Amino acid sequence: MTDADFHRAIRRIRWRHWLHYSIQALLMGALVLAGGNKAAAVTSAQPALASWPLLLLLGALLPLAGVLLYLISRRLTPNLRRPAEQNLRVYQSRMLLRNSLLSLLGLPLLVSYVFTRSPLELIACGVLLLALCLLTVPSAKAYQRWLLS
């Protein structure tokens, strides 16, 4: 693999990183808002109390999904005996799983928005996801550190 191919692959991984965060944020927001509207639409005097089964299920599944993603990402380790292209694919897979895990941090803010309808939660979720995306941008140096770990 030439130096130009390596940097092209890193740019492609970086582009997919940005795309992944934006798609997951939109998907997560749409699902929470659609589920929140459906859960709160129950004919009840207090829709927040009528939504507790959904929140309980979400509260149980979120840590389970996080642990599963974490365990899978820990299994994706570098191997210097592998060809460089395969190590880059493993690195990209690990970044995808890490991004998915970190994006789940915005979910409590979205669930809070369903009940409070305060735009501050949406803004805070957007800022959190943008900060995570900026702090975890893949680079050639990060890849080389991962490869040597």
**pLDDT 10s digits, 42-58:** 545 555 555 667 667 77
In a domain, 64, yes or no: yes
Residue 63 pLDDT more than 90? no
The pLDDT score that the predictor gives to residue 114 is: 81
In a domain, 54, yes or no: yes
In a domain, 44, yes or no: no
Q: 107-128: per-residue pLDDT in tens? A: 888 888 887 888 899 999 999 9
- The residue ranking higher by pLDDT, 59 or 5, is 5
Which range has the worst mean pLDDT, 7-21, 44-58, 75-89? 44-58
Backbone angles phi, psi at 117, to 5 degrees: 55, 30
The pLDDT score that the predictor gives to residue 74 is: 84
Q: Quote the CA–CA distance of 95 and 142 in Å, as a whole number.
A: 11
The pLDDT score that the predictor gives to residue 43 is: 47
In a domain, 116, yes or no: yes
Residue range(s) defining the domain that contains residue 67: 3-39+50-148
Mean of pLDDT over the chain: 86
* 18 CB-contact burial (10 Å; exposed 0-12 / middle 13-18 / buried 19+): middle
Q: What is the percent of the chain where pLDDT is above 90?
A: 48
Judged by DSSP in three states, 45 sits in coil
- Round to the nearest angstrom and report the end-to-end CA distance of the chain: 21
**139 Ramachandran zone, left/alpha/beta (phi>0; psi -120 to 50):** beta
Which residues make Cβ contacts (< 8 Å) with residue 2, sequence separation at least 6? none
In a domain, 72, yes or no: yes
pTM of the model: 0.81
The pLDDT score that the predictor gives to residue 147 is: 92
In a domain, 69, yes or no: yes
Q: Burial letters for 87-101: b for 16+ Cβ neighbours within 10 Å, e otherwise?
A: bbebbbebbbbbbbb
The total domain count for the chain is 1
In a domain, 45, yes or no: no
In a domain, 129, yes or no: yes
Is residue 90 very low, low, confident or very high in pLDDT (cuts 50, 70, 90)?
A: very high
What are the CA-CA distances from residue 43 to residues 38, 50, 52, 134 (Å)? 11, 9, 14, 42
